[in-house]
Amino acid sequence: MSNGSVMGVRNYLIEGVSGVGKTSVATELQRRGYHVIHGDRELAYKGDPETGEPVDLALFQDGGDIAFRHRRHIWDVEKVQELATDRTHAITFFCGGSRNFQHFIDVFDEVFVLDVDGATLQKRLAARPADEFGGNPAEREFVLQLHATKEDLPVHATVVSSSRPLDVVVDDILARCTGPAAKGSMRASSSSF
């Protein structure tokens, strides 16, 4: 972190496109007693991904351009940095998607990107209610395009297959956080996916 703040003990980001299981993983981590920040609920707002300035919500009233809306789904950078300095928890998992992650990615010891095969993603998105992102056909197609291109995901991350049962996915992430793979740090180095 560039401002010289003391970091929390261990901070991890769990990212991925809509429908790969970020919320399910977060809920399971909480059930197991881990400290979890649901980024899409607790940190997200609509703003400029470069400046952080909030955008006029009237721009989103009639649905509007899906790509425009998606690219303005950002997290409060100062709040992420503040939470990352909290040393009351041995491990904190930040789960969700943010289009401005490049402004705070350095606070994480490791970044995990959940990924599934295309058929599984289509099935999960088709099961979503229409009012949840990815739940209508146009949004679903947009998410599938993002999944195929991986254009808005962190490139220096550990990919975790979330096509497997939830408990296996969470066990895999936890093993990477507590085992030898956890010795590396996003702050000091990164491995490409």
**What is the full DSSP assignment across 93-120?**
EEES--TTGGGTGGG-SEEEEEE--HHH
Query: Quick check: 101 pLDDT over 60?
Result: yes
């990924």: which residue's tokens? 115
Average per-residue pLDDT in the chain? 87
> Does pLDDT of 37 surpass 90?
yes
CA distances from 120 to 56, 124, 127, 172 (A): 35, 6, 11, 19
Structurally, at CATH architecture level, domain 11-183 sits in 3-Layer(aba) Sandwich (3.40)
Residue that the structure tokens 């949004």 belong to = 139
End-to-end CA distance of the chain: 22
pLDDT of residue 137: 92
The pLDDT, as a whole number, for residue 63 is 64
Q: Which residue has the higher pLDDT, 181 or 31?
A: 31
pLDDT mean over 118-134: 93
What is the band of 184 on the pLDDT scale with cuts at 50, 70, 90? very low
Nearest by Cα to 45 from 34, 37, 53 = 53
Place of tokens 């990815």: 134
> 22-41: buried (b, 16+ CB within 10 Å) or exposed (e) per residue?
bbbbbbbbeeeebbbbbbbe
Region of poorest pLDDT, from 2-11, 40-49, 74-83:
2-11
Residue 128 has pLDDT above 70, yes or no: yes
Predicted TM-score (pTM) of this structure: 0.86
C-alpha distance from residue 101 to each of 29, 127, 159 (Å): 21, 28, 16
Residue 153 confidence (pLDDT): 92
Q: What CA–CA distance (Å, rounded) separates 185 from 161?
A: 21
pLDDT attached to residue 76: 97
Q: What are phi and psi of 129, to 5 degrees?
A: -65, 155
